[in-house]
Structure 1
């Protein structure tokens, strides 16, 4: 048990893992799993739906992302003002309806409606999910949990693309199998989210200390003590750094995993999705261990340098005449992309105060989504060579950002986040 002199956020930082954490783990993992499955709906639809002419591929792939962008921003602000759990109720309703529409869609308008709803929902969950993880898990596990949970999105995308491969891209079997799998996951998600607690830190800063205390009253704690984060840069420098590495990773991953198939190799869309997400999934478990044991700053630079090198290696092999080598190199590049994603998802909630955490994460991701949408329009008519060179440039941007943070940033590994809220 704990001393009543401890603040709720301090108890969370040194707590032992409990049932509360288990419910949160399942709820967040399933949320990201569904995010991954639903992110494949648009590219898989271009593969299986005869009612989508190739001239409409770009719009099918990009218009839903505008709703993901809106979901990120609107629900990120909502989560900071009214709570993480209430935001989840809205997002689950949105993508639950969207999944049903996807299963019954036989025309482009119905399909687009399903994509709008699913993308608004999963886009809206990201900021609140990352904020909740950083706010409710002990310091000693925070890096690993922030790294591991988003990896379930890769697993979800691999499952959906694997289903498309197994059904040979047949229209009805593919949609029904993917849809039923997603609905089962949503059912598990609803139960786990009803059982998990609200963010303890959020309740504390909103003046709901007694409600927070009721959640943690049964927790036992360790004797660990963690020094607080000592911010050495302003919030807007942190924002700029995270925006740069976010644009680099989000665009390079999305363009290679989700857009390369429809743009350059339409018949290989499901296979490229599968290889990319399996590579990212495997790397996610490795990265979750590494990021929790080394300097965040060094880890970030390592991840982006690896992505840059492996993207260069892909350049001479991006063709159907060397598919085996291409798939191996794509697997490796997506592994480093996952390492870079881990760097982002760990650092985003670790660099902002509680009261603006979800909103700032949302704003960064709005920038990433916006540039991603523009990049799809820009690159869809590129040759394969031009397409890979563009991605090399994106990775180079990430290396610049990671180097900037290595030189001027501050360390967050193994540190208490109370320093971000101005508390010693």
Structure 2
């Protein structure tokens, strides 16, 4: 199914990129705004843990849904879920009824929907993109998550300054997210369905018709009843690496400002979110020359750099805020490299019929462990959390080294060659 880059690929790339931008906005709403509400800031650990568990459940449930109903309908379903959650939050806050229970429920619904995006979004892009550009397309699209997170963090600070009122600032921030969700929903109705998914469902005539319409090659035959049997080793190694990457990203970018003993206080939270995600955003462009040349080298380089900069971040904690922010920025560059490498691999290494399910499962396993790590935040404190960062990066480096010597080089290959 070798093909050149066509207008339909730009269309799909833009829609999926907008989706990840919105995901970053919605996931970052809580850590970027709850510092303004004293009661919620004090319960941040509980809220983060509930949200993490909801993200995990969404990845599992909607990942499976993406294989059952298709990538397009899976993405529409996830968006409707988190848009309703955001609307519920805004309504409750506007009516002065946002107690802790309501905050837990509304933000968990949002995160359930965001978690459910990953499987169908990665699958749609991987299954439609030419193999020579697949790594770059997946990486740059997912990178819009970081851009969205940075934008909403800056918006939260801006709204706080121009309004001088906590309630108005939070309402403006969440209303901005709702407006973006409405725009992305309109775009998703025009997203093309995956030709490979149609073929795997036995709908070859539809796949051929769409291929002709879009001016691309028809997909090769797909296994209609594929399962994850024989792929559990790939699930395990990717889940281990993604767990290390996810925890280090979330700890450094979102959780540390709310941990006991953090040197700069939780008022530093929106600045921390913005700087971390700006570093991650820049990181994707720095990896562009390498990602489609070698997945193995990208994977290993990401965790090697992350391990070194995590140790530097622990050493910088307590120094001038500018110094800490600079090292945080650099660490998140490598975090993006790690996320990109793992995201591309999990999108490539499973059969079409279970690809969305597999991506959701890898995601869910990592988020399950992330939930436990959030609970430990209030017990361990910032200094031990920073030491944990380095240990987790080293764990990811071990997984990457294993893949370097024993894994499959998937750069430039058709998906069917890898399964």
Answer whether TM exceeds 0.5 for this pair.
yes
Q: Show the counterpart of 2:238.
A: 242
1:72-151 counterparts in 2 under 5 A?
72-104=59-91, 105=93, 106=96, 107-108=98-99, 109-151=101-143
Decide whether aligned partners of structure 1 residues 182 and 46 sit closer, same or farther in structure 2, where only a CA change above 3 A counts.
Answer: closer
Residue 355 of structure 1 and its aligned partner are, at CA, apart by 1.2
Pick which of 153-162 and 264-273 moved more: 264-273
Residues 1:322 and 2:320 are matched in the alignment? yes
Q: Show the counterpart of 1:173.
A: 168
Residues 1:14 and 2:13 are matched in the alignment? no
Rounded Cα–Cα distance in structure 2 between residues aligned with 1:163 and 1:380: 28
In structure 1, runs of 5+ residues without a counterpart are 1-9, 223-232
Which whole-Å deviations, capped at 9, do the CAs of 1:192-242 have from their partners, x for residues lacking one? 2111211110001111111112211034469xxxxxxxxxx9522211210
1:23-422 counterparts in 2 under 5 A?
23-52=11-40, 54=42, 56-104=43-91, 105=93, 106=96, 107-108=98-99, 109-168=101-160, 170-220=165-215, 234-263=230-259, 264=262, 265-292=265-292, 294-319=293-318, 321-421=319-419
Residue 53 of structure 1 and its aligned partner are, at CA, apart by 5.9
Rounded Cα–Cα distance in structure 1 between residues aligned with 2:310 and 2:5: 41
Rounded Cα–Cα distance in structure 2 between residues aligned with 1:310 and 1:251: 15
Q: Is the 8 A contact 2:283 2:333 kept in 1?
A: yes
Which whole-Å deviations, capped at 9, do the CAs of 1:321-355 have from their partners, x for residues lacking one? 42111110000000000010000111111111111
Residue 113 of structure 1 and its aligned partner are, at CA, apart by 2.6
Q: Is the 8 A contact 1:30 1:186 kept in 2?
A: no
Rounded Cα–Cα distance in structure 2 between residues aligned with 1:90 and 1:323: 41
Residue 44 of structure 1 and its aligned partner are, at CA, apart by 2.8
Q: Is the 8 A contact 1:62 1:376 kept in 2?
A: yes
Question: Aligned to 2:189, what secondary structure does the other structure show?
Answer: helix
Q: Show the counterpart of 1:3.
A: none
Rounded Cα–Cα distance in structure 2 between residues aligned with 1:420 and 1:266: 45
Moved over 3 A (4+): 218-222
Residue 285 of structure 1 and its aligned partner are, at CA, apart by 2.2
Rounded Cα–Cα distance in structure 1 between residues aligned with 2:10 and 2:341: 24
Question: Aligned to 1:149, what secondary structure does the other structure show?
Answer: helix
Residue 289 of structure 1 and its aligned partner are, at CA, apart by 3.9
Q: Is the 8 A contact 1:155 1:277 kept in 2?
A: yes
Q: Is the 8 A contact 1:143 1:291 kept in 2?
A: yes
Rounded Cα–Cα distance in structure 2 between residues aligned with 1:149 and 1:205: 25
Question: Aligned to 1:40, what secondary structure does the other structure show?
Answer: helix
Residue 185 of structure 1 and its aligned partner are, at CA, apart by 1.9
Q: Is the 8 A contact 1:35 1:122 kept in 2?
A: yes
Q: Is the 8 A contact 2:291 2:298 kept in 1?
A: yes
Residue 381 of structure 1 and its aligned partner are, at CA, apart by 2.8
Decide whether aligned partners of structure 1 residues 25 and 53 sit closer, same or farther in structure 2, where only a CA change above 3 A counts.
Answer: closer
Residue 124 of structure 1 and its aligned partner are, at CA, apart by 0.4
Q: Show the counterpart of 1:230.
A: none
TM-score w.r.t. length of structure 2 = 0.90
TM-score w.r.t. length of structure 1 = 0.89
Which whole-Å deviations, capped at 9, do the CAs of 1:130-164 have from their partners, x for residues lacking one? 01110011112111101101111001100111012
Rounded Cα–Cα distance in structure 1 between residues aligned with 2:408 and 2:176: 42
RMSD between aligned residues:
1.8
Residue 65 of structure 1 and its aligned partner are, at CA, apart by 1.6
Question: Aligned to 1:168, what secondary structure does the other structure show?
Answer: helix
Q: Is the 8 A contact 2:76 2:189 kept in 1?
A: no
